Structure 1
């Protein structure tokens, strides 16, 4: 009896997610390797791409304004019930596009340049927006504009700019020899699967460390708004892409796939405790969405 590889590929992400969750005590301490895995994914995604495809476009600004506007409206409504849960929702919209968004778009056959350019834009904007917005949301937060911008900028340089620069250097050296780099979709796919183990392990470790000190009902509510934010952004990207004449896969990934690690750090450092679980939940929810979309993709 022959194995159906396409069907097995559909189940593989769930197996890796389950491994990260069940073995979190062992996988969470190893999560320091995660930024390098994601940087490698971006490197291979842009290896075949000229820099001209990374220019910002009008549609990028439209996406950002839609996300910020929708997040602000939902936060204004939810804060009437619970301010901290409302902050949790808002941070799910404020989060910049994931460094891996371009790589995942590449795996799904979408416009890698569009998603990667949005990653660069949103990481640059959060260096400006977060130091201004966080003190307004939480007056007790002491945020140094330049210090926070510098920290975010260093993260962007390591995880986004460095792999793009290395990819362009490799392209140049190969072109000097009359060769062209080839897409590495399968390698990128397995890098993504391995990242799931560490992402989910880190999320479970975070939740287990603070769950005893938090009201269970409000904790569940914070996780729930993470699901709402995730579902809204992925589905809005799918619906709005054709209307704006943008590749659907790229638009969906740009809107829905988030750099949750960066925003989780902002929540822990500057906001009340209940702002963070929504982001931790978003980590799990977005990987379930990605697993579903990948199961529909032929590599």
Structure 2
């Protein structure tokens, strides 16, 4: 039996389980941030701190994503502003905490992907409180209040695992050893997230019910549009700006959907959130494709 081929199908099995077992898994979705933080920890613990730094290409990619998102928002708002808002939030979302870990599993430049995660999370703490009132949300919430709430989430999901990883590296270095966690551990942690992420997405769509079903489907559909654009944009841009392709693709396409889903639910129209739920599902199909391609090539 070819175990490597079976491993390539594992993500599809976990996605199927997440969709079918959503009633069982969705109540436990609160564990997700901790699993994702663990993935970032194991990805960063192998790296020297100097390898994770802001680069000029980070700013270029961020400006490009925000510009495309703003342009599509203005275009789509001519039809429905709430659906346009959903699409824009898919572009505003920072790079996923797990982007560096996934890049590591696919043999890419972990430093670039993790650096982009840090940059985009820092920027959203400033941009989100400024942009949300412009697109119909966050009215009445002081800038510093909203910014500090976002910053606390970022500290828990990004800053804490990175600091812990560097502390472990420092302590082990003092004893003349190097931390070398097995890549397979990160891979199975990622697979476990699929069950909870898809379960939460299916639960959210189920809770919305049959009201405004066409708008609900439209919001879910813009997640696919945003996902397709950003994953493929990263792949196309990488050789043109001198960045390793896997890192660029994952940095642009893989998103911290938990953060923007919270923003949508807390400050925007309910129709904005299904787009993020859709992005959760679609990005995991993209990740499954690239992961299977990596492990079967």
TM-score, normalised via structure 2 length: 0.97
Question: What's the secondary structure of 2:295's corresponding residue?
Answer: coil
Alignment partner of 1:275 out of 266, 272, 279: 272
Check the 8 A contact 2:129/2:143 in 1, yes or no: yes
Cα-to-partner distance string for 1:232-280 (whole Å, 9 max, x where unaligned): 0000000001100001000000000001111011111111111111110
> In structure 1, the residue corresponding to 2:126 is in which secondary structure?
helix
Q: Which residue does 1:292 correspond to in 2?
A: 289
The equivalences for 1:1-299 within 5 A come to 3-138=1-136, 141-212=139-210, 214-298=211-295
Q: Is the 8 Å Cα contact of residues 141 and 271 (structure 1) preserved in structure 2?
A: no
Cα distance, 1:226 vs structure 2: 0.6
Tell me by how many angstroms 1:61 deviates. 0.2
Matched residue SS, 1:282: helix
Shift of 1:140: 7.2
Counterpart CA distance in 1 for 2:183 and 2:35 is 14
Gaps of 5+ in 1: none
Across the two proteins, how many residue pairs are aligned to each other? 296
Q: Distance in 1 between matches of 2:141 and 2:244?
A: 38
Q: CA deviation at 1:183?
A: 4.5
1:39 and 1:160 in contact (8 A); partners too: yes
* 1:102-160 Cα deviation digits (max 9, x unpaired): 10001000011111111111111111001111111116733321111111111111111
Of 190-199 and 5-14, more deviation after overlay is shown by: 5-14
d(CA) in 1 for partners of 2:91, 2:136: 17
Structure 1: how far apart are the matches of 2:273 and 2:35?
24
For the residues of structure 2 that align with 1:10 and 1:242, how far apart are their CA atoms?
27
Cα displacement string for residues 74-109 of structure 1 (whole angstroms, at most 9, x for unaligned residues): 111111111111111101000000100010001000
User: Is the CA contact 2:137–2:267 (under 8 Å) kept in the aligned structure 1?
Assistant: no
1:184 deviates by 2.2
In the alignment, the residues of structure 1 paired with residue 119 and residue 164 of structure 2 have an alpha-carbon distance, to the nearest angstrom, of 19
Q: Distance in 1 between matches of 2:57 and 2:36?
A: 25
Distance 2:115 2:142 in 1: 27
Q: Secondary structure at the match of 2:158?
A: helix
| Consecutive unaligned residues in structure 2, runs of 5 or more | none
- Write the distance in 1 (CA, Å) between the matches of 2:134 and 2:40: 34
Confirm or deny: 8 A CA contact 2:137 2:268 kept in the other structure.
no
Shift of residue 211 of structure 1?
2.8
User: For the aligned residues, what is the CA RMSD?
Assistant: 1.2
Task: Give SS of 1:25's match.
Answer: helix
1:182 aligned counterpart, secondary structure: coil
